[in-house]
Structure 1
């Protein structure tokens, strides 16, 4: 009797989580899969028409999709590498105990507290043809004409990547700093007595101990890179000439500008697929290590 009562109480406590999972994860995912086989302009459910694999076939003929595919992978690779390297270096500086580390930590972490929308607007203003960065370069006589950071197809995506790295370096730094607090001092002292250099200590002692932290930060960066939307949309909206589209911005454009809900659902499935594959690979590598 007591066991049954305990089971009921446990079910009641888990019910909100079950409802949340069904309402915000499972049902939307299944709805997305269903819509990917339809042609629907949205708003009116009566207009849904089954289209089979047409949306999937159109995806492989879509040049803009392949641009967004290339850009998304570029975004994931560059941000993941940069954030982990800069995060570890920043954490090492804080952990070294040099002066003004508290100020350094606060300054680096401050952008994490801001919304990506605010970050996007701020950098868009600063990088404008008449913004503070171009004016600064003019004052140093480095340039004679404004650099179109967000208006040049060659640099627009990398500009957004730079703003993203600037915002989230502090987050990775905090994770690495927390990991460094768990490195046994005895190991470092023993290695120092044995004559190991600082570089050798970092490579052969600290980094192996930090492998769980590295796995977590890389997983967060990879998944975050695959679903990035807000800062890209605010700064470039996928332009100029579709050159900076990523999966999420192209999905948004397809769904809400061109009213192609079925086609947008196919792009959403691609995002889910790559995020899942990346997570599985990274976790498997981390488990093997």
Structure 2
């Protein structure tokens, strides 16, 4: 077909592409994020999986041992102690990070005087360094600290307790610190969910004579199941990877009563320079977290209620 003189050959752009747009333009936008993902997640993860089959001290040449690190792991009492303590963290932090924040979110969702200030103050521990939080709580749990002063003053205790040096009390103390610091994040997640619930549902329930407990049970909880699923997953991840509070406050003691899997992996890698064994434990922890997340997904799947 002969083109007219002086007329440009204007071709229609392909569907989904703007005029003058190159085929590779859409791929440039996610490229920085993909590079960061590859450098800081994918490459370290692949390297850690490879190292789990080697014996390496970070200096000499790696020696291939196959499944030797995993066999060693099965007979390591400290590994099982760390795993058990991590599971205790998971159980202990459940009410602090899943149940209590929901009740706090219901409270701060009310139109009460000074409620915005309360939200801000309750969120402050979240943005505070865990190192600073750990040092501050060490003074609280000290034998001459605030907690013992209050409990002995009210006659609850006859003698002060050195909580962080007592195998019975050290782990609950760390659970309390971890839960207190992270509670604000979970409260905000629930608050976002509560603000999506139509107020007319609560008004209708009040007209029908439903109590606050029944409104919470039959309206609030069913409608924020997706948010509960998110908090459950986050709580699992946080509890199973507890490290900083243990490092700052107890170093896994006394008598390994606060030894968590996260701290034991760090100790094997950066104190004993047993990189292969640490990678094997990290791989096991990674698989456990995936299984927990999948179990949480299966439990909460299909329970979402549309308002």
Secondary structure of the structure 2 residue equivalent to 1:183: coil
Distance 1:145 1:205 in 2: 47
Larger Rg: 2
Task: Please say if residues 75 and 225 of structure 1, whose CA atoms lie closer than 8 Å, have aligned partners that are also in contact.
Answer: yes
Question: In structure 2, do the counterparts of structure 1 residues 6 and 184 end up closer, same or farther at CA, with 3 Å as the change threshold?
Answer: farther
Distance 2:152 2:206 in 1: 49
Corresponding residue for 1:259?
Answer: 273
Distance 1:137 1:286 in 2: 41
1:22 to 21, 38, 50: 38
Shift of 1:61: 0.8
Corresponding residue for 1:31?
Answer: 47
Distance 2:278 2:29 in 1: 36
Task: Please say if residues 134 and 245 of structure 2, whose CA atoms lie closer than 8 Å, have aligned partners that are also in contact.
Answer: yes
Normalising by structure 2, report the TM-score: 0.87
1:99 aligned onto 2:113: yes
Distance 1:63 1:247 in 2: 12
Corresponding residue for 1:74?
Answer: 88
Shift of 1:260: 0.9
Shift of 1:212: 1.3
Counterparts of residues 66-215 of structure 1 (less than 5 Å): 66-140=80-154, 142-215=156-229
Task: Please say if residues 251 and 264 of structure 1, whose CA atoms lie closer than 8 Å, have aligned partners that are also in contact.
Answer: yes
CA-atom RMSD, angstroms?
A: 1.9
Task: Please say if residues 160 and 232 of structure 1, whose CA atoms lie closer than 8 Å, have aligned partners that are also in contact.
Answer: yes
Shift of 1:130: 2.7
Task: Please say if residues 226 and 274 of structure 1, whose CA atoms lie closer than 8 Å, have aligned partners that are also in contact.
Answer: no
Corresponding residue for 1:40?
Answer: 56
Shift of 1:163: 0.6
Shift of 1:285: 2.5
Shift of 1:107: 2.5
Shift of 1:204: 0.7
Secondary structure of the structure 1 residue equivalent to 2:90: helix
89-98 or 261-270: which moved more?
Answer: 89-98
1:282 aligned onto 2:293: no
Normalising by structure 1, report the TM-score: 0.93
Deviations 1:62-104 (A, max 9, x none): 1111111111111112212321111011111112323332333
List gaps (5 residues or longer) in structure 1: none
Question: In structure 2, do the counterparts of structure 1 residues 12 and 157 end up closer, same or farther at CA, with 3 Å as the change threshold?
Answer: same
Corresponding residue for 1:11?
Answer: 27
Secondary structure of the structure 2 residue equivalent to 1:150: helix
Distance 1:81 1:142 in 2: 24
133-142 or 9-18: which moved more?
Answer: 133-142
How many residue pairs were aligned?
A: 287
Corresponding residue for 2:78?
Answer: 64
Corresponding residue for 2:6?
Answer: none
Query: By percentage of residues, which structure has more helix?
Result: 1
Task: Please say if residues 92 and 172 of structure 2, whose CA atoms lie closer than 8 Å, have aligned partners that are also in contact.
Answer: no
Task: Please say if residues 96 and 179 of structure 2, whose CA atoms lie closer than 8 Å, have aligned partners that are also in contact.
Answer: yes
Shift of 1:132: 2.9
Distance 1:123 1:14 in 2: 42
Shift of 1:5: 4.2
